[in-house]
Chain A
Amino acid sequence: MAVKIRDVVNALGADVLSGEDGLDREIGVVISSDLVSDILCCRDEGAFLITGLAKIQILRAAEVIDLIGICFVRGKEPEREIVAYARQTGFPVITTAKTMYETCGRVYQLGAKSGEYIPPHKRE
């Protein structure tokens, strides 16, 4: 059965900051990175991002590759404009105090698949 963002929220005890209506979106793959360029290498459909980078740039990158939602880890307080922007577009943003390691571990246990990472120079 496909893992939904709601399952991640429950498994982590995460706070939902925006996009309540999108929590039943099914997660295609999960990616995890703090580097914008690495995130942009993702070509999978329906990717959900786990990151410690709570900046507006992440949301723009999310838009570029059609992420379905984001989880901020380590209790990162996202900038106010992130939450405002995400609410405006109904984009699911959740946050957890757990570490990157524990967050990824728990989401992996739910059965979510990993996104594929191919560095740009290996693609040509």
Chain B
Amino acid sequence: MGASEFIWTREGVDAEKIKGCKQQGEEEAVEIGRAIRGGDFANAGAGASEIKRVIKKLAITPQIVRRVAVSSFEAEVNVTVYAEEGTIDARVTPSCIYVVVKDRGPGIPDIEQAMQPGWTTATPEVREMGFGAGLGLPNIRSNVDYLKISSEVGEGTVLEFAIMLE
């Protein structure tokens, strides 16, 4: 029980650059934010769609746009499936895209376990909608350059990821 944290950085990615990407700096940034309601499956992924729409207009390769969109979508679906409410915020600078997905919810007791492909606690109703295959977090990790998950059981989870543009 209590708080736990999981941090992963893709091999060859400079941790200093990620720090710079996260902090409010001098760099000009585009910011996109949206609320997520738990259980609102009709709108699950709407935030990811919005982020995608915005970054598509910037000079970003289609491959990166897709990686951002898929990771944002999976993270947003997790909030819809498991939490009561949350937010998704993306910050786009010339060097990277940083996304923070926060929720008020049950938290993740064992993040390492939740990272295992196929591990899920989704209900049959959720699975019937095509979700809950236990691939969300692994799918996020495979698309991002940096992933941090902080969770407190009974309180909620903060999932952050970065995708480098350079």
Interface residues of A (CB under 8 A from B): 34-38, 40-41, 43, 53, 55-58, 60-61, 63-66, 81, 119-121, 123-124
Contacts and interface: CB of A to CB of B under 8 A. Distances in A.
Given A38-B133, A64-B70, A120 B49 contact: no
Contacts of A34: 130
B49 to A, nearest CB: 6
A59 to B, nearest CB: 9
B48 A64 contact: yes
Given A35-B130, A38-B133, A64-B66, A57 B138 contact: no
Interface string B134-165: 01101101100000000000000000000000
A40 B70 contact: yes
Interface in B65-81: 66, 69-70, 73-74, 77
Given A55-B130, A57-B130, A58-B130, A63 B138 contact: no
> Would you call the interface of chain A mostly helix, strand, loop, or mixed?
helix
B42 A56 contact: yes
A119 B117 contact: yes
Contacts of A57: 41, 44-45, 77, 129-131
B131 A36 contact: yes
A65 B130 contact: no
Ranked nearest first, the 6 interchain pairs of A and B with the lowest CB-CB distance are A37-B135, A60-B45, A120-B138, A120-B142, A123-B142, A36-B130
A41 B49 contact: no
Interface residues of B, number: 28
Interface of B: 10, 41-42, 44-46, 48-49, 52, 62-63, 66, 69-70, 73-74, 77, 117, 129-131, 133, 135-136, 138-139, 141-142
Given A60-B45, A121-B117, A124-B142, A65 B66 contact: yes
Contacts of B130: 34-36, 53, 55, 57-58
B132 to A, nearest CB: 9
6 contacts: A37-B133, A37-B139, A40-B70, A40-B73, A66-B66, A123-B142
A99 to B, nearest CB: 18
A53 to B, nearest CB: 5
A41 B130 CA distance: 14
Contacts of B45: 57, 60-61, 63-64
Nearest to A63: B49
B138 A121 contact: yes
